[in-house]
């Protein structure tokens, strides 16, 4: 969850740079900042349920490249799980995501974890044991 919030924050910074560019390439791995314009508009308009895994993956890639302090580059599978998380928790606005994060710090049951994300968490736990 913390990694996802970190990614969203880093993506917001990257979006500021990409705000005057347009278009989304079909290749998610391209890292073209212009592909983030749609993501920026969806976040600004509280349409986060429309965000695609490709947009999240590109934002994480650009944020990762923009700062040595940020380690947020997500795989396609992780980006898809992030989309599932937003949808399952009906997160439309960045403020709702922030509120969900704050609530989950006090009560982890505030956030619903989709199966796709739980699988990734379980796999990571197994690999660190």
| Pair 72, 64: CB distance under 8 Å | yes
- Using one digit for the tens of pLDDT, what is the confidence trace for 63-92? 888 888 878 889 999 999 999 999 999 999
Question: How far is the C-alpha of 77 from the C-alpha of 68, rounded, in Å?
Answer: 23
pLDDT digits (tens, 9 = 90+) for 21-64: 333 444 565 666 666 888 899 999 999 999 999 999 988 888 88
Per-residue pLDDT, 31: 61
Phi/psi-derived region of residue 51, left when phi > 0, alpha when psi is between -120 and 50, beta in every other case: beta
Cα distance between residue 89 and residue 125, in whole Å: 23
Query: What is the helix (H) or strand (E) element at residue 61, kind and residue range?
Result: helix 53-66
Burial 31-47 (b: 16+ CB within 10 A, else e): bbbebbbbbbebbeeee
pTM > 0.75: no
Chain centroid, CA 105 distance in Å: 18
| CA–CA gap between residue 56 and residue 1 (Å, rounded) | 14
22 vs 98, which has greater pLDDT?
Answer: 98
Q: Helix (H, G, I), strand (E, B), or coil: what is residue 20?
A: coil
Burial 74-83, CB ≥16 within 10 A → b, else e: beeebbbbbb
Question: Greater confidence, 111 or 128?
Answer: 111
């Amino acid at each position: 969850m913390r990694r996802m919030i970190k990614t969203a924050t880093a993506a917001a910074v990257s979006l500021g740079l990409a705000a005057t560019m347009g278009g989304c390439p079909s290749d998610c791995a391209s890292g073209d900042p212009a592909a983030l314009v749609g993501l920026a508009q969806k976040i600004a308009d509280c349409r986060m349920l429309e965000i695609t895994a490709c947009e999240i993956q590109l934002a994480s890639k650009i944020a990762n490249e923009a700062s040595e302090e940020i380690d947020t580059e997500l795989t396609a599978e992780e980006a898809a799980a992030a989309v599932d998380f937003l949808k399952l928790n009906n997160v439309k606005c960045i403020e709702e995501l922030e509120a969900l994060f704050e609530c989950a710090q006090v009560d982890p049951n505030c956030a619903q974890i989709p199966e796709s994300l739980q699988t990734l968490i379980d796999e990571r736990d197994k690999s660190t044991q």
